[in-house]
Structure 1
Amino acid sequence: MNKLITTLLVFCILTGTAFAQKEGNEKLFKDSYIKKTMKKALSWQLKNPKHELYDWTNGAFYAGVFAAYETTGSKKIWKAMEEMGEANEWKAGPRLHHADDHAICQTYIDMYRISGDRKMIQPFIETMDEFMVTPYETGDIRKCTWWWCDALFMGPAAFVKLGETLDDDKYLKLNDKLFKECYDLLYDKEEHLYARDIRYKWDEPGIEVIKESNGEKIFWSRGNGWVMGGLVRVLQELPKDYPTRDFYIQNFKEMAAKIISIQQEDGLWKASLLDPEAYPGGEASGSGFYTYALAWGINNGILDKEKYLPAVEKAWVGMNSLIQPDGHVGWVQPIGADPRKNFSADSWEVYGTGAFLLAGSEVIKLKP
């Protein structure tokens, strides 16, 4: 009898715990909760600025800020973006060919589409005019203009957004050329992931092979997150009948299938995609971009809902576990070019917040 009572008590406790967890998780998907959490994370980040406002880090952050504005309609968020643009004089960063310095222009273009104020895009038009007539010098590592995979978030969407806004496909064609060069250089067609740059490829003549501790190829989580986020932002813009659209869709689908196959139990992804055991904690920035990309794929009918929705729901629960009491997004790997171990709940970066905001902006659109 005592054994039976004990068994029943354990069952009730476990059932109650599971019910409480389910109830808590359901809260995370309510529109009001998502908006509240996005505003909290955004408010903290705006009070704790970092880097030059034209920097690539803020390019990713303000992409998320604009997504938060679209999601919430907050006038305060719009004002924050205006202040950023005015401080930058609506200019790209100073490096003409460097995709990192073009990322912030995505937000300028998005804002122009609402306000119609030409000053928001004119400097970028002038930058692109110069870009298109100025040769780019390559090198041992820099074998093409976009020679590192992160560039595929920074540059492509800015080019395509500008082309669509001006109804001028020369920018789209330029993006096709530069994107395909990067794809040919860095995309691993067996693993369906991108090397961060040529130094992390296995079969490149003259390049010393770098391996993870378990002998696997090095595929950086945030680097591939940049790519998937960039693919989303290109596909959002390209016309349905655009000649190369299927190339981007195929690349997106291949990466999506790979990414959900290596999702961790907590719903997140470690800093190194193929050597998760060697790295602590779920990494917020890569995980945020995957959550954003996968949710967008479902919302736009590109990814099968039955297959991908459980992964997105699991990821969003995991992402919320990274929000700290004061509102900052923790567990963000610092700036680098490969997987790192030196981050914790206290580690934050503006691009981590940007990734979280982008994820929330798509998760809120999901339908059961």
Structure 2
Amino acid sequence: MKKRTLLLFIVVFAFNQSSIYAQNTDMFSPKYIKETMVKVTDWQMKNQIHKETDWTNGAFFAGVFAAYETTKSPRILDSLMAMGERNLWLPHPRFDHADDIAISQTYIDLYRIKKDRRMIQATLDSVLKMRKIKGNEVKKHGIAWWWCDALFMAPPTLAKLAVTLKDPSFFVQNDSLYKQCYDLLYNKEEHLFARDANYLWNAQGEGKKEANGKKLFWSRGNGWVMGGLVKLLKEMPKNYPTRSFYVTLYKEMATRLLSLQQADGLWRASLLDPASYPGGEGSGSGFDCYAMAWGINNGILNKATYLPAVQKTWKALNSLITPAGKVGWVQPIGADPRRNFNSESFEVYGAGAFLLAGSEVIKLKK
């Protein structure tokens, strides 16, 4: 009980401090956003903790490329190119695992600038191989994308290939695999995704639940889906036959997540039991901020409804950043809500989520 009280005090103190800071800082000025994005990029680049082609860095480098697009920093572009060269433009080893082609999103983005086929050939080989061979994921789980995180990792890669190579068969491949995951994990009553089949509930309502008796829905898991939907829709042609399915899903989830945002602007690690998880969570909140800001910028979400929520989240996210550029309050790697993190906790995908959010917040019209 004492630990929980102390934690609550730390959270309240942190946000009080951030409120004082916010009064003297225009967190929505392009200058501030660009400078902060560069600072976060630099700090995280210097504090790598995973293999660069790992899924965690797939999410981070997606954010770094967004930072390059926003700032046009030659240094950031050079760092991304050096990363690709170090890794010989290879994705992670498993051809059939969505996590292992997350890094390929950045490879394809860089290919669009440099037009060097080496940058995408290994990715292309992996994705085409997946069409022909039943991989371990299908053998083990029945479907390839069996966990909701996969919907951030792989769909944007397939969509980018479809657009870059002018080959709609990659969109068709994505549609098939995406719908399988949706049919398995999407809860049509809650408008949220279960993390995987271990978090589903039977007809009697039996399954994993939170302390308050409600079903367990993980913040970052649904943040993965929202971020992935944005990156997919950004690539997908407006007249693509199944686009309406993804737009409807995006709007349903945005509506539900808006109702679950907490007063401080952040989402808790557990969406339906926020009281059990004091303190906001940086990565899920970052992806939600990114997704909602994009929806406003593209006329899909009502500005009057969603802009206040995005503004609150952006201010709150900036309160999680240290002067050096570390994004704190990020839940460590896991598959469900955890309490084992604090202001010192960071992960590369937390920085990636912040950078993606900044890339859309800067486009908001005052």
Partner residue of 1:5?
none
Larger Rg: 1
Partner residue of 1:212?
210
What letter corresponds to residue 322 of structure 1 in structure 2?
L
Query: Equivalent of 2:223, from 204, 222, 225?
Result: 225
What letter corresponds to residue 347 of structure 1 in structure 2?
S
Distance 2:99 2:321 in 1: 27
Distance 1:122 1:140 in 2: 26
Offset at residue 144 of structure 1 (A): 1.1
Offset at residue 50 of structure 1 (A): 1.4
Q: Is the 8 A contact 1:141 1:199 kept in 2?
A: no
Distance 1:282 1:20 in 2: 18
Distance 1:43 1:113 in 2: 24
Offset at residue 324 of structure 1 (A): 1.2
Query: Equivalent of 1:291, from 285, 289, 296?
Result: 289
Distance 1:263 1:50 in 2: 30
Distance 1:39 1:77 in 2: 8
Write out aligned runs for 1:162-241 (5 A).
162-203=161-202, 209-241=207-239
Structure 2 regions of 5+ residues with no counterpart? Answer: 1-16
Offset at residue 129 of structure 1 (A): 2.1
Offset at residue 140 of structure 1 (A): 9.4
Matched, 1:267 2:246: no
Matched, 1:79 2:88: no
Distance 1:139 1:72 in 2: 41
Distance 2:22 2:177 in 1: 46
Q: Structure 1 171/316 Cα, relative in aligned 2: closer, same or farther at 3 Å?
A: same
Offset at residue 126 of structure 1 (A): 1.4
User: Match of 1:171, SS?
Assistant: helix
What letter corresponds to residue 157 of structure 2 in structure 1?
A
Offset at residue 325 of structure 1 (A): 2.2
User: Over residues 185-207 of structure 1, what are the superposed CA-to-partner deviations in whole Å (9 max), with x where a residue is unaligned?
Assistant: 000000000000011111279x9
Offset at residue 65 of structure 1 (A): 0.2
Distance 1:65 1:204 in 2: 43
User: Match of 1:121, SS?
Assistant: helix
What letter corresponds to residue 210 of structure 1 in structure 2?
K
Structure 1 regions of 5+ residues with no counterpart? Answer: 1-16
Matched, 1:59 2:83: no
Partner residue of 1:49?
48
What letter corresponds to residue 48 of structure 2 in structure 1?
P
Query: Equivalent of 2:346, from 323, 348, 352?
Result: 348
TM-score normalized with structure 2 length: 0.92
Distance 1:318 1:288 in 2: 10
Distance 1:255 1:219 in 2: 12
Distance 1:185 1:137 in 2: 18
What letter corresponds to residue 341 of structure 2 in structure 1?
F
Q: Is the 8 A contact 2:97 2:137 kept in 1?
A: no
Matched, 1:24 2:24: yes
For structure 1, which segment, 141-150 or 97-106, has the greater mean C-alpha deviation from structure 2 after superposition? Answer: 141-150
User: Over residues 92-119 of structure 1, what are the superposed CA-to-partner deviations in whole Å (9 max), with x where a residue is unaligned?
Assistant: 1101110000100000001111111111
User: Over residues 163-213 of structure 1, what are the superposed CA-to-partner deviations in whole Å (9 max), with x where a residue is unaligned?
Assistant: 1110111111000000000000000000000000011111279x9711111
Offset at residue 280 of structure 1 (A): 2.4
Distance 2:128 2:266 in 1: 41
Offset at residue 161 of structure 1 (A): 0.4
TM-score normalized with structure 1 length: 0.92
Partner residue of 1:357?
355
Q: Name the % identity.
A: 59
Distance 1:96 1:213 in 2: 39
Distance 1:120 1:178 in 2: 24
RMSD over aligned CA atoms reads 1.8
Q: Structure 1 367/213 Cα, relative in aligned 2: closer, same or farther at 3 Å?
A: same
Matched positions, count: 349
Offset at residue 143 of structure 1 (A): 3.2
User: Over residues 197-235 of structure 1, what are the superposed CA-to-partner deviations in whole Å (9 max), with x where a residue is unaligned?
Assistant: 011111279x97111111111100000000000000000
